[in-house]
Amino acid sequence: MASLPFAHEEYRKRQARLLELIPTDGLVLIPTNPLAIRSNDVSYPFRANSYLLYLCGWADPESVFMARHNGDSWITALFVQPRDTKAEIWEGVRVGAEGASTGWPVDSAYSITDLDKEIREIITDDTEIFTILGLNTDLDSVLEGLKTSDPRKIIDSHRRLKSKREVELMQESAAIATAAHILAIKSTFPGIGEWQIQAIIEGHFAHSHSQWSYPSIVGGGDNATILHYKSNDRVINDGDLVLVDAGCEVEGYASDITRTWPVNGKFTEPQREIYELVLKAELAGIEACQAGSVWHSMHRATSAVLAQGLIDLGILDCSVEEAIGDGGDFNGPYRNFFMHGTGHFLGLDVHDVGGGRQGDEDGGPKLQPGMVLTVEPGLYFGSWRADIEIPERYSGIGVRIEDDVLITDEGPVVLTAKCPKAIDEIEALVGSAR
């Protein structure tokens, strides 16, 4: 029997929620992600499609989940890699169709080599196919010319509400990422390389039987002002801040933490001013994560604090309303220094499904118990910026603070609460392992 992260009953319930909204003459086909070549005959590490993980827990490549109605009930199946001794000598023993049919929450399983034949026996010109196109070229070829619909919107409405077991996995992921950040803070010293901090963090992920949920961002000095900085190849000088945005995943479920700290263990006065402002905004954003409120309530809470703080520091000369944007459109001049959203949903994808991003209409989705999201305000004063005037006092400073938050009826629960972020805590930790 396969060791899956969820009981078969939970997978079956997920399938049932999808299938109750699919017409009985429809056919569901969910392919996994394709293998991607890194160089020549070397592939990137494979990561299964999140929808396949969600519906049945299947994590191997070259696979498709299928559901069809036989007139009485829905029947589910997996198409998987067949047993192949030659391939298994090189790459490991495969589960095969027989193992998939007995160990996974499906009614039957087939070899992926039979996909074309099995599908053509089922479909007619009138069959509506619910599938994700662009992932499996063989499947796309079979379905060419047929009517297709995307099932992801149906699944997404359920994926964004986490079960008790999903929350447990996300808490485990948050605990591993928290420990990794603490270890990195303790190991930091002036002159350390960004890549060394990355190695400390991702080494802890691997040591904890986990893996990163997105490429780690480690930006020292001015590099901290680049939102998705990814080179991680510079030495961090004495007096610089380092911004680390890194998370891991457990059974596919992600964590996402950002912490910023002085590489020498002591914030300068300008660094402290910006850090305290971002922390105040983050705490306001977390407090706004109340069940029943709309997504933009959180963004407005952080934006109001940041806008007022930028005014108080003399960086902006206008009212809070003008700084945020007339009419509450969040496009005022404070956006010169805070360019991204306050957060995003979190789950099987680090930027998880269900909305909650910039551009959402009507204030974004309403927060409900069981949702997990990030709160991550920041301020960035890149000395390299030529499009705006950067105050000399804050030039080269980039600060972001990010936590993972579970929505409950009793208020927000911070899954990453054990990751230090108070100034005195951080200063006491920096370099303490040396």
Out of 340, 357, 385, 393, the active site residue is 340
Out of 54, 229, 380, 394, the active site residue is 380
Asked whether residue 178 is domain-assigned, the answer is yes
Out of 62, 240, 249, 256, the active site residue is 256
Q: Which of 108, 128, 159 is the last residue of a domain?
A: 159
Out of 68, 94, 259, 400, the active site residue is 400
Do residues 149 and 234 both lie within one domain? no
Say whether 8 is catalytic. no
Say whether 376 is catalytic. yes
Do residues 124 and 232 both lie within one domain? no
Say whether 25 is catalytic. no
Asked whether residue 434 is domain-assigned, the answer is no
Asked whether residue 294 is domain-assigned, the answer is yes
Say whether 209 is catalytic. no
DSSP of 193-262, one letter per residue?
A: BHHHHHHHHHHHHHHTT-EESSPPEEEEGGGGGSTT-----SBPPTT-EEEEEE-EEETTEE--EEEEEE
State the Cα–Cα distance between residues 60 and 62, nearest whole angstrom.
7
Q: What type of residue sits at position 183?
A: L
Do residues 101 and 187 both lie within one domain? no
Out of 160, 172, 344, 427, the active site residue is 344
Q: Quickly count: other Cβ atoms within 10 Å of residue 41's Cβ.
A: 6
Say whether 228 is catalytic. yes
Out of 150, 228, 321, 326, the active site residue is 228
Asked whether residue 48 is domain-assigned, the answer is yes
Out of 202, 245, 349, 352, the active site residue is 245
The strand pair at 378-381 and 397-400 is best described as antiparallel
Q: Which backbone phi and psi does 370 adopt, to 5 degrees? A: 105, -15
Out of 282, 376, 403, 404, the active site residue is 376
Rounded to 10 deg, the angle between the 164-187 and 194-207 helix axes is: 140
Do residues 45 and 171 both lie within one domain? no
Say whether 425 is catalytic. no
Do residues 152 and 186 both lie within one domain? no
- Segment-wise mean pLDDT, segments of 10 residues, the chain, 434 residues: 89 98 97 97 96 98 97 97 97 96 97 96 92 97 94 96 98 98 98 98 98 98 97 98 98 98 98 98 98 95 97 97 84 96 97 82 89 98 97 98 98 98 98 92
CATH code for the domain in which residue 134 is found: 3.40.350.10
Out of 9, 20, 41, 269, the active site residue is 41
Assessment of whether the complete model's pTM goes beyond 0.75? yes
pLDDT attached to residue 327: 66
Do residues 277 and 420 both lie within one domain? yes
Dihedral, CA of residue 268, residue 271, residue 276 and residue 277, to nearest 10: 150
Say whether 245 is catalytic. yes
State the Cα–Cα distance between residues 32 and 54, nearest whole angstrom.
11
pLDDT attached to residue 293: 96
Do residues 99 and 188 both lie within one domain? no
CATH code for the domain in which residue 363 is found: 3.90.230.10
Q: How far is CA 174 from CA 29, 183, 237, 261, in A?
A: 33, 14, 29, 19
* H-run or E-run covering 423: helix 423-429
Q: How far is CA 34 from CA 51, 135, 138, 320, in A?
A: 14, 6, 11, 48
Say whether 69 is catalytic. no
Asked whether residue 2 is domain-assigned, the answer is no
Say whether 340 is catalytic. yes
Do residues 84 and 126 both lie within one domain? yes
pLDDT attached to residue 76: 98
pLDDT attached to residue 2: 67
Q: How far is CA 354 from CA 350, 357, 372, in A?
A: 12, 9, 11
Out of 152, 165, 351, 385, the active site residue is 351
Say whether 351 is catalytic. yes
Asked whether residue 334 is domain-assigned, the answer is yes
Out of 222, 273, 402, 427, the active site residue is 402
Do residues 271 and 349 both lie within one domain? yes
pLDDT attached to residue 391: 97
Q: Which of 107, 125, 159 is the last residue of a domain?
A: 159
Range of the domain at 183: 164-429
Q: Which of 143, 159, 175 is the last residue of a domain?
A: 159
pLDDT attached to residue 358: 65
Asked whether residue 369 is domain-assigned, the answer is yes
Place of tokens 């972020």: 421
Please give the tally of structural domains in the chain.
2
Q: Could you tell me which of 46, 191, 175, 367 has the C-alpha nearest to residue 183?
A: 175
Do residues 154 and 287 both lie within one domain? no
Q: Is 141 helix (H, G, I), strand (E, B) or coil?
A: helix
Do residues 78 and 139 both lie within one domain? yes
Asked whether residue 406 is domain-assigned, the answer is yes
Do residues 262 and 382 both lie within one domain? yes
